[in-house]
Amino acid sequence: MLEFIQLLKQRYQSVLSQQGNEARSSAYQQRIDQLILAEAFMRKGQLLNKATQPLQIAVIGPTQAGKSSLVNVLLNQPVAGVSPLAGYTVHPQGFCQGVSLADCQDLAHYFGRFQQLSQNELSKQRYDCYSLTALDNESSFVPHGVLWDTPDFDSIDSATYREGVIRAIALADVLILVVSKEKYADQSVWEMMAFLETLHQPVLICLNKLTEGSETLLIKSLQEKWHTHRSDPFPDVVPLFYEKKSGSPQWSIAHSKLLKQLAKQVNHKKQANFTQELLQKYWQSWLEPIRAEQQAVADWQQMCHELMQSALASYQRDFLNHPHHYETFQQALAELLTLLEIPVLAGFLAGARQVLTWPVKQMMKLGRQREHIANTSHEVALLKQIAEHTLIQLVDKLLDQAEHPQQNQWWKALNSVLRKNRPRLLEEFASAAQHYHIDFQQDVEHTAQQLYHKLQQQPLILNTLRATRVTADAAAIAITLHTGGIGVQDLVIAPAMLTVTSMLTESAIGSYMHKVENELKQQQLSIVKQTLFIDTLVKHLLLLPEQLSGLTYFNIPLASLQAAEQQLTEKRHGLRLL
């Protein structure tokens, strides 16, 4: 599941980098934040499964709320950098209180691509890093663990370092929300708190920069805001009054045990359930554009299969069932005539059969004969025309789809891919048709053998054929076909061949001939469908969506999505992360 969430996040980031629609860009950025949170929360679950981890407390809030100043007050030492300038802190900075850096070594895996640096190595030139600092002195205000000073989440520049903020927040077991009297009502604050509700972290609100007597009204307003955006109970609020002399907030003795009490509310055993709740909350929203793409792919597949059926229908109508164009059975009759002992051609046929004693020469000759037959075949020419017509129809249908607002850009892009690949598709189809026709001559020869064996059981008909001048003329035409003197279509309309066909049809083996011809047609239709349309044309057409730019489209396989959804729905008692 973690791999799927990471894949989804990467695809969203790639697609967003190419977006021009501001409304969609805003929605996609929100989903990226959600995916970063989900990924980080799942990584936290991995940490908890691995070993006992130090308590993590994150101080969060909007810009200039006094987060770093509060960190210094809680730790009772000036370890966090402070500045009157907005956005001074741009990296997550952890301070180890009562725990060593060795106790926090697993955080390197949690932060992933983020690099751990010392506090003085942090630079505003790069944001994919964090610091951990071991403290010598302990504060009575903070339980043993890591206290995190985090960047703001509401300034214009926060978009550049927002991922670090989200990672630090997802890691936290306890949150300290710091807001000032100027910032507590900002929409960004409450959007963030609503965003974090499914993490079920104990929260403490610090209302900073107060003047005496203002706290009651502000706390009441805070409570209203909380209940508007969250469904869990309103947390404790610590009023922090500004001390002019030190320039820092005052943390009273009355609140000295508050964070330790909150730490007792942390329940790591429910981490898997909370993770599943988080994923289910956003799952459908995350998958909206992916499902739309997959629906487009499904529509494309259906379109290809429908046009394949139409192409096969054209092949049956214009070749297999056409009274003047169906040449394959005539080829079988031509092969049959070369098997008969016809007196007029006996010497020539005897010489031809001697070639069988040299298999290599015979195979070379056979190959040349079959290639000539394929080159002069009406079937091969018709198949090429059907393929060209099918691709023209596909282009028209893609243009129609591009007129609809739903996924119109996807269809336009696919149309461009199809046009680019059209020459290659037609070339591959033509080559496959040529090879099919050459290979199918074996089936033609087998049909001729069937007819010959049947004639051997009817000596009267066999002798009549051998004695007929028309048969000799037809056999001569058949041999001329093999030597390249005429084309297949000439064979079909040759009067002598038509006469022989009529003679056999009207004879005692007429019904058997029809049976054999129908079997040959069925075999031909089956092979053409599988070899040319399914395995060649449709197969390559169905792969075209994979050529769409990975920067512009999600291109997430349906199988990957189904596997992730199955895991999400089956693990109702807590998601299995590994």
pLDDT in tens, the chain (578 residues): 888 999 899 888 888 887 665 557 888 889 999 999 999 999 999 998 887 889 999 999 998 888 898 999 999 888 888 776 766 788 999 999 999 999 999 999 999 899 999 988 988 888 999 999 999 888 889 999 999 999 988 888 888 899 999 999 999 999 999 998 888 888 999 999 999 999 999 999 999 888 777 788 889 999 999 999 999 999 999 988 866 666 677 787 778 888 999 999 998 888 988 999 999 999 999 998 888 888 889 999 999 999 999 999 999 999 999 877 788 877 777 777 777 665 554 444 444 444 434 343 343 344 445 454 455 678 889 999 999 999 999 999 998 888 877 678 889 889 999 999 999 999 999 999 999 988 888 888 888 888 888 878 878 776 776 666 556 565 566 556 555 555 555 555 566 666 766 767 767 667 887 888 898 899 999 999 999 999 999 999 999 998 887 778 888 888 888 888 888 877 554 444 43
Amino acid symbol at 497: M
The whole-angstrom separation of Cα 5 and Cα 9 is 6
Q: How far is the C-alpha of 219 from the C-alpha of 234, rounded, in Å?
A: 11
The one-character DSSP state at 233 is P
pTM of the model: 0.73
- Number of separate domains in the chain: 2
How far are the Cα atoms of 53, 133, 135, 482 from residue 100, in angstroms, in the given order? 12, 9, 8, 90
Q: For the chain, how big is the Rg over CA atoms in Å?
A: 40
Q: Is the dihedral of CA 189, 191, 192, 194 positive or negative?
A: positive
Report yes or no: 79 and 137 within 8 Å, Cβ to Cβ.
Answer: no
Determine how β-strand 236-243 pairs with β-strand 248-249.
antiparallel
Pairing state between β 115-117 and 55-60? unpaired
Domain-ending residue, one of 239, 261, 281? 281
In a domain, 11, yes or no: no
**Within this chain, do residues 325 and 270 fall inside the same structural domain, yes or no?**
no
Residues 6+ apart with CB under 8 A from 559: none
| Domain shared by 374 and 434, yes or no | yes
Q: Is residue 26 part of a domain?
A: no
Residue that finishes a domain, picked among 259, 281, 303: 281
The tokens describing 277, both together, are 């709740």
By DSSP bridging, strand 55-60 and strand 129-134 are unpaired
Name the domain boundary from 241, 256, 281.
281
User: Smallest Cα–Cα separation from 70: which of 221, 246, 233?
Assistant: 246
> Closest Cα to residue 165, out of 58, 285, 73?
58
In a domain? residue 12: no
Is 263 in the same domain as 175? yes
CA within 13 Å, CB half, 422: 15
C-alpha to C-alpha distance for 40 and 166, rounded to whole angstroms: 8
Does residue 554 sit within a domain? yes
Residue 501 domain boundaries: 293-563
Bridge partners, 145 (sequence order) = 55, 97
CB neighbour list of residue 288: distance below 8 Å, 6 or more residues apart:
none
Does residue 303 sit in the same domain as residue 264?
no
Task: Examine the domain organization and report whether 75 and 132 are in the same domain.
Answer: yes
Structural domain includes residue 114: yes
d(CA 168, CA 159): 15
